[in-house]
Structures are given as C-alpha cells and as structure tokens.
A = this chain, B = another copy of it.
C-alpha cells in the first residue's frame, strides 16, 4: 500500500475555517509520541527509510516506511502492525537497532473526500498540515488531487516540505 502524502506549514486557525466552509468532517484528536529507530546494518538517514513505534492514546503501532518514491511529495511504501510498545522496543534494541529520536505532537484529523487531513502541532516546532491518500497505485494522479486541494487552502506546491518531523526536531537540537 502507498501513502501519498504532502506536508506544509499552515496556520491552523485559518485552515480550519476554510475546511469548515468546505464541509470537511472532523474525526478526532490524537496525541502521538513517536520513537524512531535506526538500524545496525544501514543508516536510515542515508537510505531514506524510517522505523517507528508510535504510542497513540494507549495503543502502540510499529511502522516501517520505505524510501520516498517521487521527488515532489512524501509518497512511500508504509507497513504497520499493532504491537505491545514496550516489548517491541525491547526486541528492536536486542536486535541491535537504536533510538534516533522522539517526536511528540498533537494531531487533529479531518476527512474530506478520499483525503485524510492532519493538523499537526509538533513539540518544539510549528503548526503543519499533512494531506494523505492511501492507494495501490497512481501516485501522480493522487498527488495532483492533493495539491489542487491544498491550493484551495492557500498553500502552493512550493510550500511542500519533504523533510520529516524527526529531521526537523534533530536539526533544531543541533542548532541548524
């Protein structure tokens, strides 16, 4: 399954008013604590992969993300499974994986047509919007649909950010 995803900085107050006008459905709020791991046998910072345990309101999910599949959006293969968070972490550490960083955020989720809209407030960073479509194929078609939707919110293709929250948080820590 592909996750076709575009991210951009956004003023949540402004965006929410526009979304309400469009009739987007509010789904809920989640509190994420994302722990990222790096591998002993290859550096995910170079291979552009990600391995994460997300703790979200009492539930834990292990997610693998493959490298990005196009140069414009954040589209990539994504595989996930529910886990016991503490034990999955212990298994990864026992296998030689190690923690590369933690990202904490509050996510408001909305649905509009076949798009999932996430309004992310990331600890130590700013406010962001992520728009996702999950599909088997047709990256370009879905990416166009997302950018056309973002345009209606006043966000252009040039505002798209492909840097991950983890990279931003680590960059900020290093004073970049």
> Chain B residues with Cβ under 8 A from A42's Cβ?
96
* Distance (whole angstroms) from the CB of A94 to the closest CB of chain B: 5
A24: Cβ under 8 A from any B Cβ: no
Interface flags, A58-82, vs B, CB<8A=1, else 0: 0000101010000000000101111
Number of copies of this protein chain within its complex:
2
Bound-state Cα–Cα, A95 to B82, Å: 17
> Chain B residues with Cβ under 8 A from A95's Cβ?
39, 51, 64
B94 touches A79 (CB 8 A): yes
A90: Cβ under 8 A from any B Cβ: yes
Bound-state Cα–Cα, A90 to B66, Å: 11
> Chain B residues with Cβ under 8 A from A83's Cβ?
62, 81-83
User: What DSSP secondary structure best describes chain A's contact surface?
Assistant: mixed
> Chain B residues with Cβ under 8 A from A62's Cβ?
83, 88, 91
* Distance (whole angstroms) from the CB of A39 to the closest CB of chain B: 7
* Distance (whole angstroms) from the CB of A53 to the closest CB of chain B: 10
A-B contacts, 20 of them at CB < 8 A, read A39-B41, A39-B96, A41-B41, A41-B96, A42-B96, A49-B94, A51-B91, A62-B88, A62-B91, A64-B95, A66-B94, A77-B94, A79-B91, A79-B94, A80-B87, A81-B84, A81-B87, A82-B82, A82-B83, A82-B84
